[in-house]
Amino acid sequence: MTDLAPLRADDPSHVGAYELLGRVGEGGQGSVFLGASPSGERVAVKLLRQSPGTDRPTGPVPDPLLREIEILRRVAPFCTAQVVETGMLGAQPYIVSEYVQGPTLQQVVDTEGPLRDARLRRLAVGTMTALSAIHRAGVVHRDFKPSNVLLGRDGPRVIDFGIARALDAAATGSGVVGTPPYMAPEQFESAPVGPSADLFAWGSTMVFAATGKPPFGRDSLPAVVNRILHRDPDLGDLDGDLRDLVEECLSKDPGRRPTAKDALLLLLGARERRPDGDLLTAGTAVASGAPEAAVVPGAPPARRGRRGTLLAGVAVAVALLSGGVVYTMIRGSVPDDAEVSASPSPAVIREVTAVPAAPAREIRLPELKTRLHESPGDPIHITSYMHLRKDVSDSFAREAKDEKFQSIGPYQEPLVSPDGAWTAVLPWIKASTPGPRDSIRLIKRATGQEFLVHTVSKPTANYNPYWSSDGRRVLLTTYDRALGTRQVLGFVVVDVATARATVVSVDTKGIGDFPFMWAPGESTVAVRFPSGSGAGLRLFDLRGKTVRTIPSVGEPSSSENTFSPAGKQFVTLCPDRIATACLWDTATGRRRATIPVPVASTLIGWYNDAHVILLDRTRDPRRVVAVNTEGKVVRVLAEIPADELGGGGGRFVPRYTRTGH
């Protein structure tokens, strides 16, 4: 999408909430416009041809075409232009998608000649990644061709997927849907058209990219169709494993063509099958030219306390840089409708102060020597974790049915909601996030259905996710990755019911890189800020306005919410004593207790309202323990070998969900 023509006299000025700025192009399916959202973000708006025989606006029962195009929003944005909205303009359907700046593959080959070497390889991987994502959502492209591949700055993007199927579903008659030089034999024979037809079109498109012409020619339609049905393809000088794969994709028999997932495995050189999310992330990274290394470009750095104690960051990026362990314990049923005030009262819930008497069971995790000690009465349980290694970093989430940990792909930070209904997945290698905005995935655990929510525009990025106690919202911290200090800019609240994000900017002068956390009542958020005697807390409402400041309380944990489950107190490293943790009254800001802790320890957060959690580094294996207000260990939650906290065994990064026991 490069050239922009002015709007015509009969063009609408707006489609839905989007202002049309100019014409990008026009084809058999409809017209494409450059649009602007109410917030000023550029989008592509495709106004489709009116459905045959349809002259009415949409009603309670949607048009068949509208039903089809609504399905397109399921496709995850791996090397595709993400569909953000669909609707009707009178009787004319429209699709709003991410705007990708760049020429089409057709334009590049026609003007610059065929692609070679690494550029061709990236194209093959990127487009196959896109087809894998499209097929995974239950969609068939049906019109894959060079003009439907955009070559953006961050790699190839596939567009217009599923529109041919939608138009065919809405049509009153039957006919050939597609572009003949790139169509599969079954599309000319009234046979069922499935994902394998896209593999045939992909093979033809790769031949065009490598040679400048499609494998069955582009002269008269009868001649092209005859060659597709009866002749072998002309692959030109295409060679190596790419030639072998293309030849397999161009088989006349749909059953002999590989699936998109198997083809992507071959292109990536994988020796074993991997989960879909793993493959799609890896494919996107290769297509964009990003190095496949376990590094976090622009991630917020770890922070050290004033006594040198390492405070592990909540974001996986922080854990990578700090070598620390990350724990997130998500609080249970706290009302989220409390009024905002200058001195908010903490929410009142049933406080739990006892430690379960039931014996703990030992849990071992795949490829790890770490031992977890879990009791049915624990108020927190590990529901996801990451295993960060030099070669690859895997992420796992606990299944809702059998409670087994299943991989959800590399370079992701998973977080299960308190009610167990959702898993939020935040990418922490932002180069693998396609498009101009950062995003978070919401996965419905019962069905596997996924929703992608865009958040902030790059180069700003989100880290440090926290679920609200009712599982309805996710809080993220926004960082400016362009600044060397990784300055916090504000926060984002993601609403699960609407799959929308609210971006809030705040005056964060002096905050540095500490994350936001939910404050008691969850109508405010809190963040650490410098004060005269070390550090304090500052509370903001959900519009970004400062509502309260609690000065000189010492360093809170940067890896977990500093407020207790009931919200009546919070914990910090004491500002005036070494090897102590301080408990503070939330309402008054006064000190309640001082807890002795080992010098070589990390403050994690709360076990329940009477016990805090520490990572004791005085022995090997390291111990994650719950201690009472006298500093006595009352519960060992995990034993982690020292080398699995940053040595040769990688880093074990567990995530806890609070169950409300």
Give the separation between CA 428 and CA 196, rounded to whole angstroms.
33
Tokens representing residue 245 in the block:
């794969």
Q: Are 524 and 344 in contact (CB under 8 A)?
A: yes
Catalytic residue among 55, 63, 143, 234: 143
Angle at 443 between CA 430 and CA 466, to 5 degrees: 65
The one-letter amino acid at 87: G
Q: How far apart are the first and last CA of the chain?
A: 55
Q: Are 26 and 48 in contact (CB under 8 A)?
A: no
Give the residue from 28, 608, 115 showing the smallest Cα distance to 375. 608
Helix axes 195-211, 117-136, angle to 10 degrees: 170
- Greatest extent of the chain over all pairs of C-alpha atoms, in Å: 87
Give the residue from 467, 512, 514 showing the smallest Cα distance to 494. 467
Q: Are 395 and 379 in contact (CB under 8 A)?
A: no
Give the separation between CA 448 and CA 441, rounded to whole angstroms.
11
Give the residue from 482, 357, 465 showing the smallest Cα distance to 412. 465
User: Active site includes 143?
Assistant: yes
Give the separation between CA 512 and CA 527, rounded to whole angstroms.
10
Give the residue from 424, 407, 427 showing the smallest Cα distance to 415. 424
Cβ neighbours, 10 Å, residue 73: 17
Tell me the residue ranges of DSSP E strands in 524-578. 524-531, 534-541, 546-550, 569-573
- The strand pair at 371-374 and 633-640 is best described as antiparallel
Taking the CA of residue 488 as centre, how many other CA atoms within 13 Å lie in the half-sphere pointing to its CB? 26
Instruction: Give bridge partners of residue 94 from the DSSP assignment.
Output: 47, 87
Tokens representing residue 152 in the block:
């953006």
Instruction: List the catalytic residues.
Output: 143
